[in-house]
Amino acid sequence: MKYIVLALAVVGCGELSDKDFGKECEVHDEGYSHSVVFCGGREVDNVEDVFITCNVRKSRDEQFEGCIGDVDLMNLAPDCELQHICFVEMI
């Protein structure tokens, strides 16, 4: 269910921006939300996958259930890129 909500958030935004969606960050940053794989550009039509990446700075017991490890991310296609997203605080 969590992945469906994240995918809908990406598709619903039309374009990814810091104001509407989140900001690019690292998995270990406070507020990390999820990761997105884009292939062929950073537009919504190019989203290949949305998931939670494991934080190597946390023990196995502290990880999100079903998170994807860094080793699994090393084989991205040449035209693909990974973006980690953090929540943006609304003022």
Q: How many helices (H) and strands (E) does the chain have?
A: 1, 4
Please report the pLDDT score of residue 50 as a whole number: 93
CA separation for the pair 60, 56 (Å, rounded): 9
8 in any annotated domain: yes
pLDDT at site 47: 94
Please report whether residue 91 resides in a domain.
Answer: no
| pLDDT classification of 42: cutoffs 50, 70, 90 | confident
User: How many independent structural domains does the chain possess?
Assistant: 1
Question: Structural domain of residue 46, as residue ranges?
Answer: 2-86
Query: Mean pLDDT score of the chain, rounded to an integer?
Result: 77
Task: Output the pTM of the full model.
Answer: 0.69
Q: Is residue 60 part of a domain?
A: yes
Tokens of 14: 């039309």
